[in-house]
């Protein structure tokens, strides 16, 4: 059995979600190949070769793969699938875009967003916004799987020494043309990797008021997240959305401010180690899962929290 992991990266760095997928792969087999498909991405391949658990790095370095267009990358993965029993990719936006296309081309089912591996053909995955965990068995000889990164410890990024093999690449198929990427500029840590996340909901009331979270996030070195309600209301961009249809996070500390705690939001954060809720409604469902709750007006509590953190920084 050999597993092929498709790496999430940005042509210069390996994304940490890839390390979680490698851990999942090593639970299936000792033979784990890692595909780096991109353009001018040899630095990613070098980093990938050092990851513990990786047997072989496959490098597909060509302009056609620069923007991770599924139309170009899927045929490459299909070509490399032979000789592998499992194809894994983290359930990032790229993974969700690419892997079903791969699975359909191979005429096999996909298992999305798995959180545990029971056996080589049996996996656990959340359904109904995480209200239920399904144990699903694949009858296909080749398993196509996306992996929830927060459910697996990241593989050690150092200590491995895999060989790097260049694989044959293809021209751009011309089905789809990349126009541009608009990347949200932020000096904050990646939402899915941050140790502390401060999230805001409808209770913030406006885009301007989201700035109040910034001060608190600055003090904690935190990433900023949001509920779907806050995204729907146009307070923040969608890449901050935490929940069933957004990102799944599991930081050491998650602070939910003005978030009522709809099940769809909980689906994206309930694996956090410590959860804090700030809400004026003492019956808000978020308090049922929060380790520490404060009932009150967030516009009073946020500045008080920032001030208190200043004090604690200066403690002897």
Residues between 101 and 130 with contacts to other proteins, criterion CB under 8 A? 101-105, 107-113, 122, 126-130
Under 8 Å between Cβ of 23 and 153: yes
Comparison of 30 and 291: residue with beta carbon closer to other proteins: 291
32 vs 67, beta carbon nearer other proteins: 67
What distance in Å separates the CA atoms of residue 230 and residue 224, rounded to the nearest whole number?
A: 12
Non-local (6+) Cβ contacts of 315 within 8 A are: none
Identify residues 242-301 at the interface with other proteins (CB under 8 A).
244-245, 247, 252-253, 263-264, 270, 273-276, 282, 287-296, 301
Binding of residue 183 to other proteins (CB under 8 A) = yes
Residues composing the chain = 316
Contacting other proteins within 203-232 (CB under 8 A):
220, 228, 231-232
The neighbouring-strand residues paired with 6 are: 35
Given 179, 187, 314, 316, the residue binding other proteins (CB under 8 A) = 179
Site for other proteins in 22-51 (CB under 8 A): none
Q: 71 burial class (0-12, 13-18, 19+ CB within 10 angstroms)? A: middle
Spell out the residues 6+ positions from residue 174 whose beta carbon is closer than 8 angstroms to its own.
Answer: none
Among 18, 26, 33, 138, binds other proteins (CB under 8 A): 138
Closest CA to 256 of 196, 194, 188: 196
196 binds other proteins (CB under 8 A): yes
Query: What mask of x and - would describe binding to other proteins in positions 81 to 100, judged by CB under 8 A?
Result: -----------xxx-xxxxx
- As measured in angstroms, the least distance from the Cβ of 122 to other proteins is 7
Listed in sequence order, the residues at least 6 apart from 104 whose beta carbon sits closer than 8 Å to its beta carbon are: none
Which one, 1 or 274, has the nearer CB to other proteins?
274
């Amino acid at each position: 059995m050999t597993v092929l992991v498709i790496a999430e990266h940005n042509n210069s760095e390996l994304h940490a979600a890839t390390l979680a997928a490698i851990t999942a792969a090593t639970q299936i087999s000792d033979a784990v190949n890692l595909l780096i498909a991109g353009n001018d991405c040899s630095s990613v391949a070098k980093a990938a070769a050092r990851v513990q658990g990786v047997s072989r790095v496959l490098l597909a370095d060509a302009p056609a793969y620069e923007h991770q267009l599924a139309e170009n990358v899927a045929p490459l993965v299909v070509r490399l699938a032979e000789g592998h029993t499992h194809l894994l990719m983290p359930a990032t936006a790229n993974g969700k875009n690419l892997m079903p296309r791969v699975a359909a081309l191979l005429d096999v089912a996909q298992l999305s967003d798995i959180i545990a591996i029971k056996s080589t053909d049996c996996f656990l995955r959340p359904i109904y916004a995480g209200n239920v965990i399904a144990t699903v068995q694949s009858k296909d000889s080749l398993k196509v799987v996306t992996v929830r990164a927060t459910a697996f410890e990241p593989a050690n990024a150092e200590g491995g020494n895999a060989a790097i093999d260049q694989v044959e690449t293809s021209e751009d198929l011309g089905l789809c043309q990349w126009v541009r990427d608009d990347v949200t500029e932020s000096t904050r840590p990646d939402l899915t990797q941050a140790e502390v996340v401060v999230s805001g909901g409808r209770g913030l009331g406006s885009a301007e008021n989201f700035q109040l979270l910034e001060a608190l996030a600055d003090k904690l070195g935190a990433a900023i997240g949001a509920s779907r309600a806050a995204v729907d209301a146009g307070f923040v961009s969608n890449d901050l959305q935490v929940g069933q249809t957004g990102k799944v996070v599991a930081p050491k500390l998650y602070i939910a401010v003005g978030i009522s705690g709809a099940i769809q939001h909980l689906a994206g954060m309930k694996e956090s180690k410590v959860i804090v809720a700030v809400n004026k409604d003492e019956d808000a469902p978020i308090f049922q899962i929060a380790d520490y709750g404060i009932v009150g007006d967030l516009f009073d509590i946020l500045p008080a929290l920032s001030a208190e953190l200043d004090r604690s920084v200066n403690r002897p």
